[in-house]
Amino acid sequence: MSDAIRIRPHMDALPTYKAGKKADAVAGFEAFKLSSNENPMPPLPGILDVITAAALDINRYPDPLSTQLTLALARRFDVPIEMIATGTGSVGVCQQIVQAVVDAGDEVIYAWRSFEAYPIITLIAGGTSVQVPLNDEFGHDLSAMADAITPATRLIFVCTPNNPTGTSVSQVEFEAFMTRVPHDVLVVVDEAYVEFNRDPDAVDGMACIQKYPNVGVLRTFSKAYGLAALRIGFFIGPERVAQAVRKTAVPFGVSNIAQAAAVASLDLEPELLSRVTDIVATREWFENELRAIGVHVGNSQANFVWLALGPATDEFVVACNAKAVAVRPFSGEGVRISIGEREPLERIIEILKTFPR
C-alpha cells in the first residue's frame, strides 16, 4: 500500500518544470526548436576537443570544488575564489542558494512572470513565494517589489534580462531599489542572458557585488556559451553566501567534462561572443520585421522575443507547430520565441501577417 507513504504535503502543489518542446515533424518543412532559449550553434571545434579529452577520465569522480574553473572565473571577473560557487547549471546554483538562505516559512520575492524555476525551488525548500506582477511594459516593478519586503523576506531574485519577457533592469532603478532592501536580505541578480544585453543603462551585476554587501550574481554557460546539456553555472557574491552555497551542492554534481568545457569557453570567449553578436543582430532584424507588419513587440535584451498574444496564444502556437516551429507558450499570456536561425523566424513572420490580433 504505497498510499500510506508520507510525502511532504507541499509536493502535491509543486508544479513540474515544463521543458520547451521539440518541433513536430511536418512534411516539407525542416523542424526548428525555438522553445528553450538554446544557442543554435554547435560547439566550437576547440571546445569539442576538450570535451573529448575530458571524457577519457569519466571513470574518476570530478573535482568537487571545480578548482580550475573557479580559478579561471576569479581571474575573468577579478574576484577572490572564496566569492565563487559552481553548480549543475545556474538552476542548480539557484536551488543551492535557496537551500542556503530559506527556511520553512521564509519569503522569497521575485517578479512574475519570470523564470519558472523560482516558484519550484522556493516550494521545495518550504519557503513562501511572493510574486510581484510585472509592469505594463513587462518589466520588473522594483518599487512594488520593495513594498513587498517583510521581516520574513530572506531572498529576492531580480532576473535581468527577464525570462520570458526580455526586459532589462537599469542601474538607476536597481540602485533606487537597493536603498529600500534591508542588509540581511540577499538580492540575487540572475544574469543568465547578460551577454545578449545591449542596453547601455542596464544594471551591472558584477559592479553591484562590489558596491553592496548583500548582492550576488548568477551566471550560466548554457545560453551564450552554448553548453546547455553539460549543466554548468555559477554564483559570485558575498563570501559567506558563496561558502554556504558550496555546502548545499550535490557532491560531484558538476562533471569533469562540464568543468573542462567551461574553462575552455572562457579561453574562447571572443569567438563565442561574436556568435552572440550574430544572435543579437538576428533579434533586431526580427523585431524590426515584426514592427513593420504592426506587431507590438518590446525591446528584448535576451536571445528571445516575447509576444503578448493573451487569449490568442494557443492558436498561434498551433499555427507555428503546423510549420514545424516549436515556440514556448504561456497559455493565456503570450509566447516566447527563441532567436535561432532565420528560416523559422521568417515562417513566424509569415504567420503573423495573417494572424488575427
Ligand X SMILES: *Cc1c(COP(=O)(O)O)cnc(C)c1O
User: Nearest approach, Cβ of 193 to ligand X (angstroms)?
Assistant: 7
Out of 40, 43, 62, 89, point to the residue binding ligand X (CB under 6 A). Answer: 89
96 near ligand X (CB under 6 A): no
User: Nearest approach, Cβ of 123 to ligand X (angstroms)?
Assistant: 17
Subset of 292-311 contacting ligand X (CB under 6 A): none
Phi, psi of 220 (to 5 degrees): -140, 155
349 vs 326: CA distance, rounded Å: 14
334 vs 306: CA distance, rounded Å: 7
* Residue number, 125 or 295, with CB nearest to ligand X: 125
264 vs 51: CA distance, rounded Å: 9
Subset of 239-298 contacting ligand X (CB under 6 A): none
* Residue number, 160 or 313, with CB nearest to ligand X: 160
- Is the peptide bond preceding residue 113 cis, with omega within 30 degrees of 0? yes
Among 41, 352, 88, 59, which residue's Cα sits nearest to residue 220?
Answer: 88
Out of 35, 39, 70, 90, point to the residue binding ligand X (CB under 6 A). Answer: 90
Phi, psi of 164 (to 5 degrees): -105, 10
User: Nearest approach, Cβ of 350 to ligand X (angstroms)?
Assistant: 28
Cβ neighbours of 172 (radius 10 Å): 10
3 vs 230: CA distance, rounded Å: 37
User: Nearest approach, Cβ of 229 to ligand X (angstroms)?
Assistant: 9
Cβ neighbours of 160 (radius 10 Å): 30
* Interface mask toward ligand X for 212-231; x: CB under 6 A: --------x-xx----x---
* Residue number, 228 or 349, with CB nearest to ligand X: 228
User: Nearest approach, Cβ of 89 to ligand X (angstroms)?
Assistant: 2
256-267 helix and 67-77 helix, angle to the nearest 10 degrees: 30
290 vs 274: CA distance, rounded Å: 25
* Residue number, 203 or 352, with CB nearest to ligand X: 203
* Interface mask toward ligand X for 164-193; x: CB under 6 A: --------------------------x-x-
**With the CA atoms of 348, 350, 355 and 357 taken in that order, what torsion angle do they form, in degrees rounded to the nearest 10?**
80
* Residue number, 190 or 323, with CB nearest to ligand X: 190
163 near ligand X (CB under 6 A): yes
128 vs 107: CA distance, rounded Å: 5
Phi, psi of 5 (to 5 degrees): -65, 130
Piece of the chain touching ligand X by CB under 6 A; list 87-95, 127-135, 177-185, 320-328:
87-95
222 vs 227: CA distance, rounded Å: 5
* Residue number, 217 or 345, with CB nearest to ligand X: 217
Subset of 112-131 contacting ligand X (CB under 6 A): 115
Out of 40, 233, 334, 340, point to the residue binding ligand X (CB under 6 A). Answer: 233
* Residue number, 94 or 352, with CB nearest to ligand X: 94
Strand 186-190 to strand 215-220: parallel, antiparallel, or no bridges (unpaired)? parallel
Binding site for ligand X (CB under 6 A): 37, 89-91, 115, 159, 163, 190, 192, 220, 222-223, 228, 233
